[in-house]
Amino acid sequence: MPRRPNPAVEGRILEAARKLWGKGGEEALSMRSIARMARTNTPAVYRRFKNRKDIVRALVESYQRELFRELEVCGSLPELLDRVMDFALRQPREYELMTSGMLARVTKSRPNVEFVILKVTEWWGGSPDENRSLVMALWSMTHGLIMLKISGTLPEADFPGALVAFHESVSLLIENRETLRSKK
């Protein structure tokens, strides 16, 4: 009789991959190091994940779910953008993975962006297509500030002022959203 797969092993594998990614990013993520940290062997990892790309996809999906849980309780777009910023600055490697070119190679899914477009449509009316450009502009601003901070390009002393300017820009875009919609 064949052995039944132990579901706890998959959980340990993903948890090990999360820890390794958090410590060292892509360079730290090898099948052998994942197996060692998960207290299993490399063939056990390969039985559950075809390759490293599958593990990266699983990591991205878990980080997306984690961010979604933080976003789904938001009552406004500024609050939502602040939560994205907080998530990214608490977990910079994870955020970088979620927004990297590597992500585009493993999945085309952008559930959190689509969720924000739907929430904005719920809050402000119109259609998702009418709100997409504004959300993408705000996403670009948010991501830009996050990456400037994470990369160290923006000096630490300048971050508070940049954050104030960011919030003022968000407010201006929200106040003028009808004008932006009519330019489509």
CA distance 26 to 117: 30
Query: Same domain for 95 and 71?
Result: yes
Q: What is the DSSP letter of 39?
A: T
Please say if the pLDDT value at position 106 is more than 60: no
Residue 24's pLDDT band (cuts 50, 70, 90): confident
Q: Burial of 77 by CB count in 10 Å (0-12 exposed, 13-18 middle, 19+ buried)?
A: buried
**Of 85, 81, 148, nearest to 116 (Cα)?**
81
The pLDDT value recorded for residue 69 is 96
Handedness of CA 70, 83, 64, 19 (dihedral sign): negative
Query: Same domain for 67 and 101?
Result: yes
Query: Same domain for 71 and 130?
Result: yes
Query: Same domain for 65 and 41?
Result: no
Task: HSE, CB side, 13 Å, CA atoms: give it for residue 19.
Answer: 12
Max CA separation in the chain (angstroms):
68
The pLDDT value recorded for residue 142 is 97
pTM for this prediction: 0.84
The verdict on residue 129 lying in a domain is yes
Contact 128, 116 (CB under 8 A): no
Query: Same domain for 80 and 134?
Result: yes
CA distance 120 to 104: 25
The pLDDT value recorded for residue 98 is 87
Give the pLDDT confidence of 55-101 residue by residue, as tens digits.
Answer: 988 898 899 999 999 999 999 999 999 999 999 999 998 998 888 86
The verdict on residue 54 lying in a domain is no
The verdict on residue 103 lying in a domain is yes
Residue 150's pLDDT band (cuts 50, 70, 90): very high
The pLDDT value recorded for residue 178 is 81
Please say if the pLDDT value at position 112 is more than 80: yes
Structural tokens at position 142: 């948010």
The pLDDT value recorded for residue 31 is 93
Query: Same domain for 64 and 43?
Result: no
The rounded mean pLDDT for the chain is 89
Query: Same domain for 31 and 64?
Result: no
Query: Same domain for 22 and 79?
Result: no
Q: What total of structural domains would you count in the chain?
A: 2
Q: Which domain holds residue 40?
A: 1-49
The verdict on residue 66 lying in a domain is yes
Helix (H/G/I), strand (E/B), else coil: 155: coil
Give the pLDDT confidence of 1-21 residue by residue, as tens digits.
Answer: 555 667 788 899 999 999 998
Please say if the pLDDT value at position 119 is more than 80: yes
Give the CATH number of the domain where residue 18 resides.
1.10.10.60
